[in-house]
Structures are given as structure tokens and as C-alpha cells.
Amino acid sequence: MNIFFSTYEAKQIGGSYLRSFSLAKSLARRGHQVTLITSAKKPSMVPRFHSLDHVKVVESIGLMPRRFRHGGYDIFDMIFRSVYLLLQDKDILHSFNHRPASSISAWLVSKTNHVEWWTDWADLWGKGGIADRRYGFLRWLTSSLDTHLEKWVITHCPNITAISHYLIKKSRFWRQGSKNIYFLPVGADTDLIKPLPKLEARQQLKLNRNDFLGCFLYVGTYDADFLSQILLQVHLHHVSFKLMMLGPFLDDFYCQLPARPHPIYDRIVHPGVVSRTNLSAWLSAADVALLPYRNLEINRGRYPNKLGDYLAAGKPIVANPTGEVKRLLAKYDIGWTASESPRKFAQLLETVGKDKRQINSKSKNALKLAGLMSWMNVASSLERLYQSR
């Protein structure tokens, strides 16, 4: 099949790009011709073409400011995608999320070319979700656009892939039926992430071999303040634990902590953003992976990409029992769940740190599940959906 993916995000930036590219390269390995269209990283009047893992990646044009360009609101991007897609031979057109650059161009092309249009719903953007966490002068505008456009795309697109059972349920409610709504979970990047022996990884990264170390991987998170409260409880009650944060500086996390200098910072290992090629070593150095995940509507609608990375590294997970995370941990015995009390979470970390046997057992379960949830297997499921239509 000749398959076209379209994400509003820029190449190698963000969860939507990661999800679409992971599926694209797996489908390409299965013999399909796959093209992925992204937004422009920098202002450009001409598109850029790349080949990555047998996927043709097209960086669209973009002339508007970065926030519009990377947010899927660049009108020039939308026009280019529409024209480019109209000129291509295609069997499937799959847009990722509802932002206009990807969704409106896909809708226009599907109406003109009569191509099969699919859309992937991987976050709750509108009311109850990301829209409620906007800030700044224009928050009312972007929140309103997300709320209405998200619902419009889900009700008008013929075929929906949704990342969570919560979004499946919401899709059925909005569409007044369950026809052509499919569950498509997160995958584990077993091609890129290869577990190393823990002590070897710590030696390589110059980390203390004896620490009980929990990793937290993120690009953006809605529970940073909760994580800081957990660490405060860990420190207050002298729990033997260090937190390794793999991602950018988080204001919502650090603003909750005491001012420097303070001994709590001795419990934090923060190398910053780690490239995906170096991720194996950093994840392998941890004893467990953390997933603070409060029972919020925005979290019930998500299925965090980091979960697949944790599994690929063979890391048992300490999390809250919310949404897809709750389902996975309950079914496959890959970790532990705590209540939303920071004190209870800290107590659970103390208990887990003393039980090496359980850590090893759940680590083996995580690796087994990673094989079942590889991106290749997720792409195989998507391929069957395409072929059934």
C-alpha cells in the first residue's frame, strides 16, 4: 500500500511525531511505501525531503511564527500539504491529531481524491484536557479552537484510531455509534532501546552503583508538581531513594522544592534532555521507572509514550492506577501502584527498594511485554485495519 501520514509536529520533536514515525518505519519494513509529512522546524518557503529508516519524510513549508508553525496552525503549511497530497498516488491518508495543518488538509484531499481518510487521536486536547491547562493572553482562543476542532475531526473522519479506551468511549459518544473506531496503543521501541546490565550502565554514566535509583522520562508532563511532592516526602522520611530525571528543566517541579542549596538536591540526578540513541544506558541504570499519573481526565485520555520506553528497557514501573497505566499494570504484573497521596507513594518506594526479588521478577515481565507491544506488532495491527476496509 501507498500510505501517507501527516503530523502537525516538526521532525523529531514531540509525541505525535514519535508515534507517527514509529508506526511509519514499521509499516515500511512490512513492505509498504510510507510518507510522513511534518511541519517545518525553521521558517522555509520550500519543502525539505529526507529518507529515514525507509520512510520518506517531507518537512512542509512554514512562514508563520514558531508557535503557529509547530502547533499546526500555519496556513501556508496547510495549503502546501493539501496541494502536495492531491498530486500523490495514495491508498491511505492518516492524520495524527486534529490540528488544521494535518487534519483539514487531509479532509480536503479525501473529499477531492476520494482517498480513505483516517485520524489518530492520542491526547484529549479540548475541554477537560490540554485546553484547561493553557496560559497566556490568547489561551481562550487556542482552547476554544482545540475544543471545537477536535470534536469536529472525530465526528467527521470516517476512521478513528484512538490511543486509549477512554478516547474510544468518547469517540463513540460523539459519533453516536462504534463504527470504524479502533484502539491503537503505544508501542515499545525494542529496536532502539537495548537493555544493558545495570552496573555496567552506571559505570558508563559515572553513577553510584549502590543507590536505589528511579528514572522519570518526559518531554512534557502534567504531574510535575505531584512528582516534586513525592520527592519531598521521600526526603522528609529519609527514604533511601534518588530520582533520575531525563528531560528538560521543569519549572512546575523545581518551584515546589526548597531553594538551593538544600540537601534534597543530592537526591536528584538530572542530565537534561537525553537523545534517543543514548536512552538505553540511562534507562538501564535505573532500578525502577516512575510514572506519577493522577486520576485526571487528561491522563485517562492518554497513553504515555514513556511507558513503552520503560518496558523496552525492562524497567518495572511505580505508578498511580489511572487509565491505560492501571490496565497494563494489573494485567501483566510489571510494577506497583500507589494512591495519589505523596506520602503513600514515598512509602511504596521505600518498600519496593527493599525487595530486589520482586524488582527482578517484574523486570522480566516488563521485557516480555515489550516484545508483545513492539511498534512492529502495533503496526501489524494497524495494517490489518487498513486491509479490512
Residue 136: predicted pLDDT: 67
Percent of the residues in the chain that have a pLDDT greater than 70, as a whole number: 98
Residue 389: predicted pLDDT: 77
Burial profile 155-178: b = 16 or more Cβ within 10 angstroms, e = fewer:
eebebbbbbbbbbbebbeeebeee
Is residue 193 assigned to a domain? no
The total of structural domains in the chain comes to 2
Is residue 317 assigned to a domain? yes
Is residue 192 assigned to a domain? no
Extended beta strands in the chain, E state: 2-10, 33-39, 48-52, 55-59, 92-96, 116-121, 159-162, 181-183, 213-217, 242-246, 268-272, 288-291, 317-319, 335-337
Residue 146: predicted pLDDT: 87
Residue 282: predicted pLDDT: 97
Same domain? For 247 and 144 the reply is no
Confidence of residue 20 (pLDDT cuts 50, 70, 90): very high
* CA angle, 104 then 107 then 108, to 5°: 85
Same domain? For 56 and 168 the reply is yes
What CATH number is given to the structural domain containing 266? 3.40.50.2000
Same domain? For 136 and 206 the reply is no
Of the candidates 80, 76, 35, 68, the residue with the CA atom closest to the CA atom of residue 53: 35
Write the pLDDT tens digit of every residue in 309-339: 999 999 999 999 999 999 999 999 999 999 9
Coil, helix or strand for 132?
Answer: helix
Coil, helix or strand for 354?
Answer: coil
Same domain? For 133 and 214 the reply is no
* Cα dihedral sign, 13-17-18-21: negative
Same domain? For 172 and 289 the reply is no
Structural domain harbouring 112: 2-187+375-388
Residue 137: predicted pLDDT: 66
Same domain? For 164 and 136 the reply is yes
| Residue 140 predicted with pLDDT over 80 | no
Same domain? For 148 and 249 the reply is no
Same domain? For 52 and 95 the reply is yes
- Over residues 361-386, the mean pLDDT reads 97
CA distance linking residue 93 with residue 61, whole number of Å: 19
Indicate the range of 45-54, 131-140, 178-187, 217-226 predicted with least confidence: 131-140
Residue 30: predicted pLDDT: 96
Write the pLDDT tens digit of every residue in 54-71: 999 999 999 998 888 888
| Residue 145 predicted with pLDDT over 90 | no
User: For 237, which DSSP code?
Assistant: T
Is residue 18 assigned to a domain? yes
- Over residues 254-268, the mean pLDDT reads 91
pTM, two decimals, is: 0.92
Bridge partners for 243 per DSSP: 214, 268
User: For 62, which DSSP code?
Assistant: B
User: For 322, which DSSP code?
Assistant: -
| Residue 220 predicted with pLDDT over 80 | no
Same domain? For 85 and 212 the reply is no
Element (H, E) at 23: helix 15-29
User: Mean pLDDT of all residues in the chain?
Assistant: 93
C-alpha distance from residue 48 to each of 42, 58, 74, 119, 314 (Å): 11, 6, 16, 24, 37
Same domain? For 223 and 365 the reply is yes
| Residue 219 predicted with pLDDT over 80 | no
Is residue 251 assigned to a domain? yes
| Residue 307 predicted with pLDDT over 90 | yes
CA distance linking residue 65 with residue 75, whole number of Å: 11
Of the candidates 189, 246, 241, the residue with the CA atom closest to the CA atom of residue 215: 246
| Residue 133 predicted with pLDDT over 80 | no
Same domain? For 13 and 150 the reply is yes
Confidence of residue 277 (pLDDT cuts 50, 70, 90): confident
Asked if residue 99 lies in contact with residue 71, where contact means CB atoms within 8 angstroms, the answer is yes
User: For 263, which DSSP code?
Assistant: G
Same domain? For 207 and 181 the reply is no
Residue 11: predicted pLDDT: 87
